[in-house]
Structure formats: structure tokens, C-alpha cells
Amino acid sequence: MLVNADLHIHSKYSMATSPKMDLPTLASESRKKGIQLVATGDCLHPRWLAEIKKLKEEKGVFRLDGAYFVLTTEVEDANQVHHLLIVPSISKAQELYEFMKPRSNNIDSDGRPNVRLNGEEIAQAAHDAGALIGPAHAFTPWTAMYAYHNSLKECYGDMAENIYFLELGLSADTSYADRIPELRCLTFLSNSDAHSPYVNKLAREFNRFEMEEISFDELRMAIIREKGRKPVLNVGFYPEEGKYNESACIRCFRHYTHRESIIKSWSCSCGGTIKKGVKDRVNELATYNEPKHPAHRPPYLHLIPLSEIIAMAMGMGTNTKGVQGIWNALIERYGSEVAVLVDSDIKNSGVDKRVVDAIIALRCGKVKVHAGGGGQYGRIELSAEPMNKNNCELQKSLFDF
Ligand SMILES: [Zn+2]
Ligand SMILES: [Zn+2]
């Protein structure tokens, strides 16, 4: 079976998250989005874990209103690097909590705790607990592995060979990461890192896996690609849309090339700091000029949330009644946002032709993206021409209607 999964979110117990990041809302929003398996996020947090515990558990996943949850957490290590952990059971989450509590000042207050351990020590603890671990949003210019390290080995030491996945983050895709030879054997995850449960945030990036059933073991096998279980699709933003794609000033958002940034010693004319963009960082790390995809790498499908496509097509704001009405009509007819965007022939959907044309144009990659940087998201507009010819062929090949 094919399972759509978003494996990185945060609960209401993390800083700067929506109070609606609770289990019932996550379950109902996932259903509308078309995601079957959702991360709990924050599974070391005692109060969040107590809420999860009340759900019906089977084979390491937790059920609520048709959605399945898997235990995950993000932790920040002593070098400010974020790691994503996918945890097999409540008791293993409790073990990890007991181990990290003496090494953390905020594990009881913040769903995304800071721990005084390095990457190797956290990876060892995860390994001992039977959890999977990998770098979260690996290329972002802060709180990420490649912001502070030049290799997996530098971050994880001898545990590097137990790292099976890397999370790409919103500012990178497969074409970026497959220019770096050390990542060849890893599975790439595309997750939302959502702080709010609504469908333009939750699962704005997700993974599609081939698995036999929805369970922790099946997910584990899919990530390490065992016995035919595997990722079959990564879905996410155009990397240029990410807020750290290009090098740019974090105060006035002026963009700079890598060369200009170096000449200006990473200091903007306005006095602000220029933050190195993911594009420039990948160029520094890359061995290949063009991506070399290993045979196991699934295609990467670039998408944007349906409400944003409708808003663009109709020239209305995303939160307007007009946009909501069309969104509801499409979801009612096809069942979920992923069904509308990815899996259905929508030509006879009955909604405004401009919306249908926009979805089809997006599927062919006919967009123009104004790159983000310095913490400001990029901006996307529809265009008559595909942004990237290769991408266009790939996108087209995914839709056989
Ligand atoms: Zn993070
Ligand atoms: Zn500036």
C-alpha cells in the first residue's frame, strides 16, 4: 500500500506553535490533506506523551479518527544542531526522556528540548532505544547539521553509519542533496516541520512510502529500504520558495550572491547580517555540478498548497470566502488535498476553469519562483513556460491522465 506521511511537526508544547496543535485537530486536518501517517512531534514532553498514551496503540502507531500517529521528536544538541528522532514506543520515548532529562534545562517546558550532548551521543541514545535518527532540515543556515559541520562524520562521529535518513528542509530538494556524495546511501525525507495544523502548513511537504501496513516496523523498513519497503515520492516546495534559499540580509532581506557576501564580509549595507543561503551552502559542499541520483532515489514532486493555487488563479486572498468555497468543493469531490493536487484527473471538477488550469500548469512546473532568503519566504507565480525543462518532464511523467 502507498502511505503519505509527514514525519516532522511540533505540538502545542513547543515554542511558537499554534494552541490548536492538538491530536484531534491534527487527525482531522491530516485527513483533509490526504496524509495517513503523521508525526506526533515532541514525544519527550511528559504532558504531550500523556495525551498520546490515551490513544489506541497498535504496532507502534497510535490511532485517532482514521489517522495514524508515530512518535517523533526533534532535539537540539550542544552544538545547536537539530536532529529528528522517530521512536518505536511509549516506553522507549520515556527511556530517552530519562536519559536526556539530567542533560537538559527545558525538556519539561519545551517540546523541542535543548540537550547538552553532541550528535554522536544523541545518535547513540537513539540507536540504543531502537529509534531512527537523522539531521533535521539539514542545510538551513542555523540549527542544522551543515550549518556547523562539513560532513555526517563530523556531526555523528562513529555513529554516522547508523544514520539512514536526512531531512531536506523547505529550502532544498533532491536535486540539491544529490550533488553531495556522502548522502548517496541515505533516504531523503521531505516533512513540513509544521507549527500550525492547517492544510497550508501541515504536510506542505510529505513523503509517500510503499509499505505493507501502517506500523512502526514498516515505516522503519521503508526508511532504510528493506524487503521492498521504500520511499516512492518526495513532495514539497520548490526549494527557491524556502526562506533561506539564497544568501540575504536578515534585516532588510536584500539578496547577495555568494561572492558579494564574501566581499562584504557577510554584513549588509543596512548593517544587518547576511545569512548564507542553502543554495550557496550546497555549492560549497557539492562535489558534482549536476545531481547524480542513485537508483533508489524517488522522484521529487514540487507542489504548493491548494489554497494558494486557488488564490493565485482567482486573484483573491488565501483566507477569503471565495477561495475557501472552491477549496471545499474540490475536497468534497476528491476526498483530500493530495487527491486534488496529485492523484486525480481534475479536468471535469466543475470548479472555475482558471483553478483547473492553474493546478495543471503547476503539475507541469509552469511557475516562476522569486527566491526567498534571510528568513523571508520566496514568492511563486504561474508562468506560461516551465521553470526547468527536466523538472517539467518529470512532473508530467508522474501524471498519466
Ligand atoms: Zn528544527
Ligand atoms: Zn540589510
Question: Cα(275) to centroid of ligand 2, in Å?
Answer: 10
Of the pLDDT bands very low, low, confident and very high (cuts 50, 70, 90), residue 363 is confident
Query: What value does the mean pLDDT of the chain take?
Result: 94
- pLDDT of residue 327 exceeding 90, the answer is yes
Across residues 133-144, what is the average pLDDT?
95
Q: For residue 315, how far is its CA from the centre of ligand 1 (angstroms)? A: 33
> Do the Cβ atoms of 212 and 278 come closer than 8 Å?
no
Amino acid 85: pLDDT: 98
Among left, alpha and beta (phi > 0; psi -120 to 50; other), residue 34 is left
Instruction: State residue 390's pLDDT score.
Output: 58
Count of CB atoms situated within 10 Å of the CB of 332: 8
pLDDT, mean of residues 106-118: 97
Q: Where are the beta strands (DSSP E) in 48-139?
A: 56-58, 61-64, 67-76, 82-87, 132-135
Tell me the CA–centroid distance for residue 251 and ligand 2, in Å: 5
**Listed residues: CB within 5 A of ion ligand 2:** 249, 251-252, 268, 270, 272
Q: Can you give the pLDDT at residue 384?
A: 77
159, pLDDT greater than 60? yes
Neighbour count for residue 13 (Cβ, 10 Å) = 21
- Ligand 2 centroid distance, CA of 252 (Å): 4
Q: What one-character DSSP code corresponds to residue 297? A: P
- Convert the pLDDT of each residue in 70-79 to its tens digit: 999 999 999 9
CA of 357 from ligand 1 middle (Å) equals 36
- The Cα–Cα gap between 97 and 110 comes to 13
Residue 243 C-alpha to ligand 1 middle, in angstroms? 14
Indicate which ligand has the atom closest to the C-alpha of 255. 2
SS3 content of the chain, % helix, strand, coil (to 5): 35, 20, 45
Mean pLDDT within 253-279:
96
Which among 390, 386, 381 is positioned nearest to 366, based on CA atoms?
Answer: 386
pLDDT of the residue at 271: 96
pLDDT of residue 400: 53
Secondary structure (DSSP) of 235-284: EE--GGGSTTSB-EETTT--B--HHHHHHTTTB-TTSPBEEPPHHHHHHH
Q: What is the mean pLDDT of residues 275-287?
A: 96
Which tens digit of pLDDT belongs to each residue from 166-208? Answer: 999 999 999 999 999 999 999 999 999 999 998 789 999 999 9
All three cell numbers of 93, joined, read: 520515548
Residues in CB range of 89: below 8 A, 6 or more apart: 60, 71, 216
295 contact partners, CB below 8 Å, separation of at least 6: none
Query: How many angstroms does the Cα of residue 141 sit away from the middle of ligand 1?
Result: 11
At residue 396, does pLDDT exceed 80? no
**Ligand 1 centre from 72 Cα, in Å?**
13
pLDDT of residue 251: 97
Ligand closest to Cα of 72 equals: 1
What is the Cα–Cα distance from 141 to 258, expressed in whole angstroms?
A: 13
Residue given cell 529500504 in the structure block: 225
Q: Is the pLDDT of residue 401 over 90?
A: no
Q: Tell me how far CA of residue 311 lies from CA of 94, 177, 320, 324, in angstroms.
A: 44, 31, 8, 9
Spatial separation of the C-alpha atoms in residues 299 and 291, rounded to whole Å: 13
pLDDT tens per residue across span 6-49 = 999 999 999 989 999 999 999 999 999 999 999 999 999 999 99
Average pLDDT of span 345-352: 90
Provide the pLDDT confidence category of residue 228 given band limits of 50, 70 and 90.
Answer: very high
d(C-alpha 223, C-alpha 189), whole Å: 9
Q: What is the pLDDT of residue 360?
A: 87
Higher-confidence residue of 28 and 389: namely 28
Ligand nearest to the CA of 264: 2
CB 18 within 8 A of CB 196: yes
**Cα angle 368, 369, 371; round to 5:** 155
Residues 273, 266: Cα–Cα separation, whole Å: 6
- Dist. CA 279 → ligand 2 center (Å): 19
Q: Of the ligands numbered here, which is closest to the C-alpha atom of 275? A: 2
Q: Could you tell me whether strands 274-275 and 248-249 are parallel, antiparallel, or unpaired per DSSP bridges?
A: antiparallel
Nearest ligand by distance to the CA of 10: 1
**How far away, in angstroms, is 271 Cα from ligand 1 center?**
27
pTM, to two decimals: 0.94
Q: What is the mean pLDDT of residues 380-391?
A: 73
Q: How far, in Å, is the centroid of ligand 1 from the Cα of 16?
A: 12
* CA–CA distance, 267 with 248 (Å, rounded to integer): 10
Ligand nearest to the CA of 249: 2
Looking at residue 342, what is its pLDDT? 87
> What percent of the chain clears pLDDT 90, i.e. is strictly above it?
85
Nearest residue to 147 (alpha-carbon basis) of 175, 179, 121, 171? 171
pLDDT in tens, 296-325: 999 999 988 999 999 999 999 888 999 999
Q: How far is the CA of 382 from the centre of ligand 1 (A)?
A: 30
Query: What's the CA-to-centroid distance between 267 and ligand 2, angstroms?
Result: 8
Q: Which residue intervals of 114-230 are DSSP H helices?
A: 119-128, 145-148, 152-156, 174-177, 216-224
| CA of 309 relative to ligand 2 center, distance in Å | 31
The pLDDT score that the predictor gives to residue 389 is 61
Measured from the alpha carbon of residue 250, the closest ligand is 2
Regarding predicted confidence, which is higher, 71 or 344?
71
Chain centroid offset of residue 331 CA: 23
Q: Ligand 1 centroid to 300 CA: how many Å? A: 22
Q: What is the pLDDT of residue 319?
A: 86
